[in-house]
Amino acid sequence: MASSPAAALATQTDVLIVGAGPAGLTLAASLTQLGVDHVLIERADAVQPGSKAAFVQPRALEYLDRVGVADRLVAAGVRGRHFSVHDGPRTLLRASYDNLDSPFPMMLLVSQQTTEKHLDRRLTELGGTVRRRHKLITFSPDFPGVTAAVAAPDGSVHAVYARYVVGADGVHSRVRSTAGIDFPGTAREQLFALADVRFEPGSASALLEDTTFFFSSEGMLLTSPLAGGQHRVVASVPSGSKAPTAEEIETLLATRGPRESGSKVAEVITASTYHVQERAAEKLSDGPVFLLGDAAHTHSPAGGQGMNTGIQDAGNLAWKLHAVLTGLAPESLLDTYHGERHPVSVGLVAFTSQMTSLATMRDPELCQLRNDIVAAAARAPHVTDWLARRLSQLDISYSPEPADGTYHVGQRVSPTLVPAAGLDWTLALPTSHTGPAETGRIGPVNVEFVDGLETPLLIRPDGYLAAHGVSTDPHAVLTNLASYLPGGPPR
């Protein structure tokens, strides 16, 4: 993507976003769509190459649909349908995405670069821009916001006053360290190797068609098809190992994977080794400062969750910033960003850590016990459905109540029930409603009749339930909108 035009950098803005990875781009596209003044700076001159996120999960697609990116990504990627766990050729567990209640029942196989390019393109279409080759150096409090020092491509340093500053600047976040927000957690000693490869035509084992964890006492192995006919191979390796060669990848597959000879690596497209850190920021906001994406949480990439969580952090924050900056909501609404997303960060780090620990067990007896337990659990009703919902992130809810088929404020409302309406609020009325009701857009609220509803629902711009049993009069709902905000009075 080309550098941004050389227009002067604004000296003040409502929101300064630092970092144009998937999280920062999603936030910028959302704020542009909502008409919120912001500046997005990025130190790199283009979308960075390299093997990173390979999957977009259904819940992230549902949000990206609201900003007009999901269909393009689906067209650019490949639909993955299953997540499996194997012991050699033996299937221990196979979770299917087919039955997920989502317009996007798929683990979309698409590279992070493609995702970022589509987000960047959409941002430009909406009228926004990325200020590339602009680096945040520091910022200091300037009540009620901050004044940031930003280095421009020519080395000059510019002061930018921002009412809010958002750190979407990755795991080594300058925003997080400048704000003094702690990033507690651990670094795993285990080294992992990652390679994106192309197999010789027709040689790849049929067992490599699913995204699969191979549980072996030889060590962890994860394989997945990728877009463009490639495959990803991730394995735990001894410390000091170098990036794997084609022969080493074939050996990993033969010893830990399908345990069949024949999968011949024709080309290693990228290969590297990495260590996993498992950390979650102690708080996601501090006064005018917000953290999202890897700046807020980092963990094992196994399970394909990190980028997806950053996209949803952005979705949670965008409409709240808009509501506060337009006077619809009190400033305290912004506290609910931490309240809702911090438990998601902490839960994600714990879940991926447990998966990694399970997959890297080496004691043969314990490995046998683990495999037997996983195989038995997978036969229990609903276990594989639970896992698919967990991985797809459709189970994320801001309600303390369990999903029990009734309405709870804070739970996700499936767009298969109430179609997404961009970043508007939605007042969904039962088709059985007989009184007068206007439909269409009334202020920030989109009003529509929906089949199969028993009671009117008010849905937030990020797709979560704000209230149920509300008035069928859109004007009354609009007048009382502030009372339906999270953190507002009990309802």
Ligand X SMILES: Cc1cc2nc3c(=O)[nH]c(=O)nc-3n(C[C@H](O)[C@H](O)[C@H](O)COP(=O)(O)OP(=O)(O)OC[C@H]3O[C@@H](n4cnc5c(N)ncnc54)[C@H](O)[C@@H]3O)c2cc1C
By the criterion CB under 6 A, which residues form the site for ligand X? Answer: 18-24, 41-44, 51-55, 112, 135-136, 168-170, 174, 194, 274, 293-294, 301, 304-308, 310
Q: Give whichever of 93 and 110 is closer to ligand X, judged by the CB atom.
A: 110
Q: Give whichever of 233 and 427 is closer to ligand X, judged by the CB atom.
A: 233
Q: Where are the beta strands (DSSP E) in 97-184?
A: 107-109, 131-132, 135-142, 145-151, 157-167
Q: How far is the CB of 151 from ligand X (least distance, A)?
A: 8
Q: Give whichever of 302 and 450 is closer to ligand X, judged by the CB atom.
A: 302
Q: How far is the CB of 144 from ligand X (least distance, A)?
A: 23
C-alpha 162/C-alpha 160 separation (Å) is 6
Q: How far is the CB of 462 from ligand X (least distance, A)?
A: 17
Q: How far is the CB of 18 from ligand X (least distance, A)?
A: 5
C-alpha 349/C-alpha 184 separation (Å) is 11
Q: How far is the CB of 32 from ligand X (least distance, A)?
A: 17
Q: Give whichever of 243 and 377 is closer to ligand X, judged by the CB atom.
A: 243
Q: How far is the CB of 115 from ligand X (least distance, A)?
A: 9
CB 17, CB 32: distance < 8 Å:
no
CB 391, CB 212: distance < 8 Å:
no
Q: Give whichever of 288 and 293 is closer to ligand X, judged by the CB atom.
A: 293
Strand partners, 149: 138, 159
Q: Report which of 203, 197, 253 is spatially closest to residue 225, judged by C-alpha positions.
A: 197
Please enumerate in sequence order all residues whose Cβ is within 8 A of that of 411, keeping only pairs 6 or more positions apart, or say none.
397, 398, 399, 401, 403, 464, 465
Q: Report which of 299, 79, 55 is spatially closest to residue 192, judged by C-alpha positions.
A: 299
Q: Give whichever of 224 and 263 is closer to ligand X, judged by the CB atom.
A: 224
Residues in the chain: 491
Q: How far is the CB of 39 from ligand X (least distance, A)?
A: 11
Which single residue is written with the structure tokens 């506060």?
324
Q: Give whichever of 55 and 199 is closer to ligand X, judged by the CB atom.
A: 55
CB 71, CB 319: distance < 8 Å:
no
CB 170, CB 295: distance < 8 Å:
yes
